[in-house]
Amino acid sequence: MASWRLDDKVAIVTGAGNGLGKEYALYLASLGAKVVVNDLGSSTTGSGSSSSAADAVVNDIKQAGGEAVANYDSVVEGEKIVQTAINTYGRVDIVINNAGILRDVSFKRMSEKDWEAVYQVHLKGAFKVTRAAWPHMETNGYGRIVNITSPVGLYGNFGQANYVAMKRALVGFTLTLALEGAKKQIKANVVAPYAASRMSKTVMSSEMLEALPAAPVAKFIAFLCHEKCPESGGIFELGGNWVSKVRLQRSRGVQFRDGFDLEDISAHFKEICDFGEGSEFPTEGMSGMGHAMAARQKRPDGKTEAKL
């Protein structure tokens, strides 16, 4: 067990005053990490602020013999949160972008305010905290970033166009951080949890909430934060005692050697969407380019225009 400790590591957990973030902060601290417990102390929809949520978690950590410091800034002021880590502990090794709010409403009723508020906390906040921590991680040649998405951020959900958009954006953000951080031993992964919290109470039944404690999610997060974590750029979906990895799949597709018109698309649509034989699990942004170029190169008459 000793080898899974996080002694001497400094972790920032955003939105750590409640729910899952609190569980992450407590667990990382129990493994020896020094934790910046960030929390604005807002409601589930983002209104209000209070220092008491972060203070209570810092208190719990200290009572248990751990080390922690509170920070009450909004994640959109990420540089201040990172500064708290630097001022208090002199470094930052781990960032968990967990702070979150909901402004659920059907799309036709969604105001720009609903969109903007969710953008600010989930996406801009993750950018600001990570951007401020990044140079410190590069200098140290070590970093672990865990972004918190949501299963609905992977698959979509009615009434959450704002939240789903930002959560999905965090997946793309993570994939790119993993690429750019590789040389400096900075690893970035993204986690879609299912767990009981004041937020999930608004969307889950009491039976679901009972079956989904936050503690197992915290353990997996700690694994991703550890120096022995083998993974970067991973998308994980988990809850209860279930942990899984998610990836994108691309069908083999159809090469229309002589271009195509709408009728051709209609005739081959089933084939275009067929994930059977020849489908792939691409991991690189330009990996489809070869397929896209192939038809052009192979045209015997030299023509490249589609019929359309």
Task: Output 75 or 254, the one with its CB closest to ligand NAI.
Answer: 75
Residue 71 contacts ligand NAI per CB under 6 A: no
Q: Where are the beta strands (DSSP E) in 48-133?
A: 67-71, 94-97
- Could you confirm whether 24 is annotated as catalytic? no
Cα distance between residue 238 and residue 254, in whole Å: 34
Q: Is 216 in the site for ligand NAI (CB under 6 A)?
A: no
**Binding flag, residue 189, ligand NAI (CB under 6 A):** no
Query: Do you know the residue count of the chain?
Result: 308
**In whole angstroms, what is the distance from residue 303 CA to residue 252 CA?**
24
Q: Which of 34, 70, 96, 98 binds ligand NAI (CB under 6 A)?
A: 98
Q: Which of 133, 128, 163 is nearest to 149 (CA)?
A: 163
| Site membership for ligand NAI, residue 21 (CB under 6 A) | yes
With CB under 6 A, what is the number of residues at the site for ligand NAI? 32
- Residue 130 within binding range of ligand NAI, rule CB under 6 A: no
Q: Which long-range contacts (CB under 8 A, 24 or more apart) does 268-276 make?
A: 275/249, 275/251, 276/252
Q: Pattern 74-93, binding to ligand NAI, x per CB under 6 A? A: xx------------------
Contact present, 168 and 176 (Cβ < 8 Å): no
Q: Report if residue 113 touches ligand NAI, rule: CB under 6 A.
A: no
User: Binding mask 44-63 vs ligand NAI (x if CB under 6 A, - otherwise)?
Assistant: x-x------x----------
Q: Which of 150, 241, 222, 136 is nearest to 193 (CA)?
A: 150
Pairing of strands 94-97, 67-71: unpaired
- Least distance (Å) from ligand NAI to the CB of residue 235? 13
Q: Using CB under 6 A as the criterion, which residues of the chain lie in contact with ligand NAI when the complex forms?
A: 14-15, 17-21, 38-42, 44, 46, 53, 74-75, 98-101, 121, 125, 148, 150, 193-195, 197-200
The catalytic site residues sit at 163
